[in-house]
Amino acid sequence: MLKLWSLAICLAVAAAFVLPQPNGKQNPRSTAPFNGIVTSLNVENVTRLLGFTFTTPATEPASDEEWDKAVCKGAVLLAQMEATDKEAGKMYNPPLESAQSKFTSFPDDLEKWGYGSLEYDDYYDFKVSLPLTSALEGLGVDAKIKSDGGKNRAVLWEHENEKTIANPTGASYTTVFNPDDGVIIAWGKYSPAYMGPKKNPPVTVFPALKSWSDVTFLQWAGLTSKAGKSAGNIRHIISSPVENKPSQALIARALKNAKKELGAWPGTSFTTTTDEGKALLAAPNGVGITYFLSQHKAQLGTKTVTKLTVFVDGGNSPRPPSLLFYVADADV
């Protein structure tokens, strides 16, 4: 648990950039493999689109100012995960009575706000398009897709229907779930705030349900219920690939601090007791994962991220980094 004086300083720093409230605006884009409903693509075509398009120019490490802000913000995010719901709510700016998200009904909330889904199991694999076989096997979890008898299920949700708001934004979230082993892979994230303004004409009114943390939680709740598992059975969350430049800069700084190079699995790990771990929680690819845990305590229990691992997946070089978040019950 953070020392109170240290947390107070970080809360003051966090107030300068305003910690987003539950269901509020988050970073609009962290990473996305593909946008749009897929109706006629096979694995080979998607592989062609996804497996060989990444470029990873050298990323400059985050500056001292960026790093210090990220460490403080990460400390607050960590404290929110480990606190009670009421205590977590008080850490927002302005303070709230509760941090709990209002979106809890699957699939009703998604459909109400204009999202449509597509089972994505036929459009990816763990060797080329999402080359995470080594990482998954290293964790001791299932590394097979559905057609190979695996436990993993891939789903694409796209904001495509005129429902509660008139104009769909084209936002899309592509995620792989394994309820049995407690794994979520955040593969693609195009939020309404990112996609809406790109439409012609631009869409600037966004659905209330717009955050990766809420969209993903609803799916997780539905899939775990269907599998006869507790929603609290969440152990690992992987964000892959990490193409967001601010996230890459923080990863580069963390590795520089540790005198390590970005490498293949098993990569380099940082506990969240370290500045490096806290800074990576505050990266655009980490914030949504902390909200997933801190804003759904009623369903998940009080969970926290204990460690993060930075690694490169098994795809053809050059590849962006990936981030693995280890989830456990918090000591409260």
Going from the C-alpha of 233 to that of each of 93, 229, 283, 324, the distances in angstroms are 30, 7, 24, 16
Going from the C-alpha of 260 to that of each of 20, 77, 254, 325, the distances in angstroms are 32, 25, 9, 19
CA atoms 62, 66, 78, 98: torsion sign? negative
Residue 7 token pair: 């947390």
Strands 236-239 and 268-271: unpaired
Tracing tokens 């897929």 back to the chain, one arrives at 38
Q: Which domain does 254 fall in, by range? A: 4-329
* Average pLDDT over every residue of 308-313: 98
Q: What is the pLDDT of residues 149-173, one digit of tens each?
A: 999 999 999 998 877 777 899 989 9
The yes-or-no verdict on residue 263 having pLDDT over 60 is yes
Going from the C-alpha of 122 to that of each of 44, 125, 129, 145, the distances in angstroms are 10, 8, 12, 9
For the whole model, what pTM was predicted?
0.85
The yes-or-no verdict on residue 308 having pLDDT over 80 is yes
Looking at residue 12, its pLDDT comes to 61
User: Average pLDDT, whole number, for the chain?
Assistant: 86
The number of domains in the chain is: 1
